[in-house]
């Protein structure tokens, strides 16, 4: 099965987050994405955001509508997510 969660999909979702003036961005690494804050001079990549259900609703809607990806699953801290059809 082809893995549909790619860096291109993540880049497209980041554009949506930017349009909504969100301070969150997603990154793509080793077939999974993860949520992070925008880095600036006051924070760094070690900050862990606590994202809302609305974030994952928006992410899943975006993936379904624009990239035909049925749903993502996420880890217990809700920071990492991946194509729910792929078993790692």
* pLDDT single digits (tens) 2-60: 556 677 888 899 999 999 998 888 887 766 666 777 766 676 666 677 788 898 889 88
Q: How confident is the model at residue 83 (pLDDT cuts 50, 70, 90)?
A: low
DSSP β-bridge partners for residue 25: 36
Does residue 43 fall inside a structural domain? Answer: yes
Give Cα separations from 4 to 18, 23, 48, 63, 77 (angstroms).
Answer: 22, 25, 25, 9, 23
Strands 80-83 and 72-74 come out as antiparallel
Order of strands across the sheet that contains 80-83: 24-29, 32-37, 80-83, 72-74
> Which pair of structure tokens corresponds to residue 87?
């078993």
Give the count of domains, the chain.
1
For residue 68, give its domain range. 22-82
* pLDDT for 66: 78
Answer whether residue 32 is part of any domain. Answer: yes
Instruction: Assess if residue 59 is contained within a domain.
Output: yes
pLDDT of residue 1: 46
């Amino acid at each position: 099965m082809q893995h549909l969660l790619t860096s291109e999909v993540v880049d497209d979702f980041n554009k949506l987050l930017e349009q909504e003036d969100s301070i969150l961005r997603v990154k793509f690494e080793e077939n999974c994405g993860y949520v992070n804050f925008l880095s600036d001079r006051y924070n760094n990549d070690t900050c862990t955001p606590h994202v809302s259900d609305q974030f994952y609703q928006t992410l899943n809607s975006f993936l379904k509508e624009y990239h035909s990806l049925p749903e993502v699953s996420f880890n217990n801290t809700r920071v990492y997510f991946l194509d729910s059809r792929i078993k790692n």
